[in-house]
C-alpha cells in the first residue's frame, strides 16, 4: 500500500472549523473502520486524537471529530484554538502483514 493522501496544508481562524481529508483505497480506508488520527507538534511525541474513525480517547476535546465515506476519511476540528496548530496524520489498518498500517503524508494545520 502507498501512503494515504492528505492535503499538505490547511488553515483557519480561531473559532472556525477546518476539515482535513485522508484518501486511501478499498484495501485500507474503504475496507476497515480502523482509521486513526494523530496530532504532532514537531519535536514532541505524536498524540492519538481519534480512532475507529469516530472515537475519541479520554481527554481529547469533542472539538475533534471524524467521519468516513468510501475510501476517504475526514478529521474536523471545530472552534479552532491556537494550540491546535500542528501536523495531523491519518492512519489506517490494512490487514497486509507486509505493511499492517499505512499513514498519510501529514497536513500542517495553521491557525491564522
Distance, in Å, from the CA atom of 57 to the CA atom of 70, rounded to the nearest integer, reads 24
**Residue 82 binds another protein, judged by CB under 8 A:** no
Burial 42-68 (b: 16+ CB within 10 A, else e): eeeeeeebbbebeebeeebeeebbbeb
State the minimum distance, in angstroms, from the CB of residue 45 to another protein: 4
**Residue 106 binds another protein, judged by CB under 8 A:** yes
**Residue 26 binds another protein, judged by CB under 8 A:** no
Question: From the list 9, 11, 99, 110, which residue makes contact with another protein (rule: CB under 8 A)?
Answer: 99
Between the CA of residue 94 and those of 16, 17, 88, 110, what are the distances in Å? 33, 30, 20, 30
Q: Which three cell numbers stand for residue 63?
A: 472539538
**Residue 100 binds another protein, judged by CB under 8 A:** yes
Closest C-alpha to 90, from 69, 68, 105: 105
**Residue 105 binds another protein, judged by CB under 8 A:** yes
Could you identify the residue written with the cell 507486509? Answer: 98
Window 56-75: residues binding another protein (CB under 8 A): 57
**Residue 7 binds another protein, judged by CB under 8 A:** no
Residues contributing to the site for another protein (CB under 8 A): 3, 6, 32, 34, 36, 38, 40, 44-48, 51-52, 57, 89, 91, 93, 97-106
Amino acid at each position: 500500500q502507498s501512503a494515504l493522501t492528505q492535503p499538505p496544508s490547511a488553515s483557519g481562524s480561531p473559532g472556525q472549523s477546518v476539515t482535513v481529508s485522508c484518501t486511501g483505497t478499498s484495501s485500507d480506508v474503504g475496507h476497515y473502520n480502523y482509521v486513526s488520527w494523530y496530532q504532532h507538534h514537531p519535536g514532541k511525541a505524536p498524540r492519538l486524537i481519534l480512532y475507529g474513525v469516530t472515537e475519541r480517547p479520554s481527554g481529547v476535546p469533542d472539538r475533534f471529530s471524524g467521519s468516513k465515506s468510501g475510501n476517504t476519511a475526514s478529521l474536523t476540528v471545530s472552534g479552532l484554538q491556537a494550540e491546535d496548530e500542528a501536523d495531523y496524520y491519518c492512519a489506517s489498518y490494512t490487514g497486509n502483514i507486509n505493511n499492517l498500517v499505512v499513514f498519510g503524508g501529514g497536513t500542517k494545520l495553521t491557525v491564522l
